[in-house]
Amino acid sequence: MRRRGRPVLGAISGLFFGLFLGLTLFMFRLYQSDSPVLLILPIVGLVLGIALGLWAPLRRGPQQQVTEVVDSH
């Protein structure tokens, strides 16, 4: 089985995205502190981050050889 993507990086990024989105919604007073939305957002971000981390094609393609042109003047 060959691993694809970076699920751990996606999980960490999704968790932080959910946390900061919930914090932003709370700071702008769109949700109260006892709202279940503020608990659900980090969990949804974690799951979406893992899914995108598994799906995303983050591998580099074949290395292209760079040729340097030297001016002989």
What's the structural domain count of the chain?
1
- Given a cut of 80, whether residue 6 has pLDDT beyond it is yes
Q: Do the domain assignments include residue 39?
A: yes
Q: Do the domain assignments include residue 25?
A: yes
Q: Do the domain assignments include residue 59?
A: no
19 is in which domain, residue-wise? 7-53
DSSP summary character for residue 19: H
- Closest of 1, 13, 10, 11 to residue 56, by C-alpha: 10
DSSP summary character for residue 3: -
Q: Do the domain assignments include residue 16?
A: yes
Q: What is the pLDDT of residue 24?
A: 96
Q: Do the domain assignments include residue 13?
A: yes
Q: Do the domain assignments include residue 63?
A: no
Q: Do the domain assignments include residue 60?
A: no
Q: Do the domain assignments include residue 26?
A: yes
Q: What is the pLDDT of residue 58?
A: 60
- Closest of 36, 6, 41 to residue 22, by C-alpha: 41
Q: Give the DSSP per-residue string, 30-73.
A: SS-TT-THHHHHHHHHHHHHHHHHHHS-----PPPPPPPP----
Q: What is the pLDDT of residue 64?
A: 59
User: Residues 16-54: pLDDT tens digits?
Assistant: 999 999 999 999 999 999 999 999 999 999 999 999 998
